Structure 1
């Protein structure tokens, strides 16, 4: 329970709030009685605030050190999450993890909103939240400044996908690429719906040629997933098959995967005159082809590895168009039968 003490000095009066938490006495002084009373009221309703002032980890661990601990043990295959955590380090680096407040996080997200899309803001928020979930699991603390911050409405869902003509052109261009594995990477992206990082970090031990599958041990969603590989993909893989190592190694250093192949990708797009198209849109192309060929939203979600079918709803109109053509073909002349 918190108590309010009036302390009279030689020149002024201050108001000190004292409270106990986990056997530790904490005090905080204020110049104004109203400020002290407001602080006492917050202690009663905000458990996170009390924790942040008393928990040993929250009051001694630097934010930058906490991120380092997480990244050192994080074997996930989502480089963008690491990039976003490092961004938060640039904002909160030397602060103690318990000193990062919800108000500070909201203010930074608002600043980011000047040039970031709502979906991207949600990813930054999720990355920060993952850090505090890690701290909760590792040190049994109950504090998360992201808690209570609402998701941004993602009204910028992008569903750009290749037309049949563009698809033919792209295949022709990537086959001519100076990087000889670009065709394999693009073909795999379109036929599996896998994310860029999931494919680039594949190792030959993950490929099962007998079952025509690729095992993703740790995806962006933190779950294992199996990719089914078409005969064409298997044929291409056989050209580069090795014992151990990465499927897509760096041309100059086979011990690392070829993370930054974008110069070859952009060159193929430019030569094929394909505009407004990103590598990630190959994933949309996979989903659109599935939808237009009769796959259900649930089946599309399973192929793409979506945890929630909500993410797959963007392709629902393509499923409906397919169903409309199907029912019209089957039942269009039923009254004349």
Structure 2
């Protein structure tokens, strides 16, 4: 049953959902209040009532913090995502109640965020908000008629430009790496260039994971969450045999990725080659493709599960294609 009360010249209609919960809304005209209450009663009978009570009580900030505590912590990249959530929580939009989080407010946030962030970064933050809202809907059972992020158009991202390390650049990098205090730096570069192994995967390799007879290594706890066995090049194997055996059993006596970054940055200053270490994976994929490796082989070696992502790593030059066209069948 609905009840009505006039207060301050307006009519308040209340409809009881159950013994403990009720919904209410205020109208200027009593006729509108009665109509709304009757519509609610019909929806209650059909099980279609929209109960925004929970959405009215929780802010986007509280939802993001709950998502961080219960979902982000489970991910391999939890540090990066935690940082993004903390950064988001310093913006005023997070003080908005979920029920009031409209498409217009999110679009204004996106446009304001894009003034200081690139399109790719903005899209990632919007995706993070969307995932938090889905978490609220599916895990916390917070009713929302829709996820407003689904109606926000993603910003157009610039064309991805990967870098490939040229043979002459590779020669200089390896020569200068021999003078680094990090005696393992040359091997790390070879494992990236020749084998397409990620930096994080390289640092986790233990000597017991290497098969010195078959020239293979097992990569454990990879980015994709799966272990994989890959091949090692001859020169990488030769370099491995030169390194001293560490007491902790690890191949590379280095614990942190930023330590590798430090020595790589130092190497860039020595050589004048301004390319990221991740370029070694681009170089591997490109060279393997030009040397006749199949997509399946490249994917298995480099650990790319999505072929669309792998395509971004292969940068076949026009000169190489021209040479292929000169071959007369």
User: So what's the TM-score if we normalise by structure 1?
Assistant: 0.69
Residues 323/241 of structure 1: CA separation in 2 closer, same or farther (3 Å cut): farther
Q: CA deviation at 1:163?
A: 1.5
- Alignment correspondent of 1:69: 70
Matches for 1:303-322 after TM superposition, within 5 Å: 303-314=301-312, 318=316, 322=320
- Alignment correspondent of 2:269: 270
Q: CA deviation at 1:272?
A: 0.5
Residues 266/127 of structure 1: CA separation in 2 closer, same or farther (3 Å cut): same
Distance of 1:160 and 1:300 partners within structure 2: 18
Q: CA deviation at 1:119?
A: 2.8
Distance of 1:78 and 1:229 partners within structure 2: 30
- Alignment correspondent of 1:27: 23
**2:278 pairs with 1:280:** yes
2:217 to 213, 216, 226: 213
- 1:214–1:227 contact (8 Å) kept in structure 2: yes
Distance of 2:13 and 2:201 partners within structure 1: 55
- Alignment correspondent of 2:121: 120
Residues 66/51 of structure 1: CA separation in 2 closer, same or farther (3 Å cut): farther
Distance of 1:267 and 1:323 partners within structure 2: 35
State the superposition RMSD in angstroms: 4.5
- 1:78–1:197 contact (8 Å) kept in structure 2: no
Q: What's the CA shift string for 1:146-204, capped at 9, x where partnerless?
A: 4444444333301221121111111222222222222222222222333333434x142
- 2:59–2:94 contact (8 Å) kept in structure 1: no
Q: What's the CA shift string for 1:201-220, capped at 9, x where partnerless?
A: x142783335512323241x
Distance of 2:99 and 2:201 partners within structure 1: 35
Q: What's the CA shift string for 1:256-298, capped at 9, x where partnerless?
A: 43434333211211111113x2222222222222232233455
Which deviates further from its counterpart, 283-292 or 239-248? 239-248
Q: What's the CA shift string for 1:57-94, capped at 9, x where partnerless?
A: 968965324312334333x1575334333333444897
Residues 4/111 of structure 1: CA separation in 2 closer, same or farther (3 Å cut): farther
Matches for 1:189-208 after TM superposition, within 5 Å: 189-200=192-203, 202-204=204-206, 207-208=209-210
Distance of 2:126 and 2:97 partners within structure 1: 15
- Alignment correspondent of 2:157: 154
Distance of 1:307 and 1:199 partners within structure 2: 19
Distance of 1:226 and 1:32 partners within structure 2: 71
Distance of 1:133 and 1:241 partners within structure 2: 49
Q: CA deviation at 1:17?
A: 7.3
- 2:299–2:310 contact (8 Å) kept in structure 1: yes
Matches for 1:40-55 after TM superposition, within 5 Å: 50=50, 53-54=53-54
The runs of at least 4 aligned residues of structure 1 exceeding 6 Å deviation read: 3-6, 35-38, 55-60, 140-143
- 2:72–2:81 contact (8 Å) kept in structure 1: no
Specify every segment of 5 or more residues in structure 1 that has no aligned partner in the other structure, as ranges: 251-255, 332-337
- 1:204–1:242 contact (8 Å) kept in structure 2: no
Number of aligned positions between the proteins:
310
Specify every segment of 5 or more residues in structure 2 that has no aligned partner in the other structure, as ranges: 44-48
Residues 299/78 of structure 1: CA separation in 2 closer, same or farther (3 Å cut): farther
1:318 is paired with a residue of what secondary structure?
coil
Distance of 1:131 and 1:7 partners within structure 2: 38
Q: What's the CA shift string for 1:31-81, capped at 9, x where partnerless?
A: 678x9999x99xx9xxxx95764479968965324312334333x157533
Distance of 2:208 and 2:69 partners within structure 1: 28
- Alignment correspondent of 2:9: 12
2:218 is paired with a residue of what secondary structure?
strand
Q: CA deviation at 1:305?
A: 3.1
- 2:12–2:27 contact (8 Å) kept in structure 1: yes
Distance of 2:205 and 2:57 partners within structure 1: 38
Distance of 2:121 and 2:248 partners within structure 1: 35
1:180 is paired with a residue of what secondary structure?
coil
Residues 213/69 of structure 1: CA separation in 2 closer, same or farther (3 Å cut): same
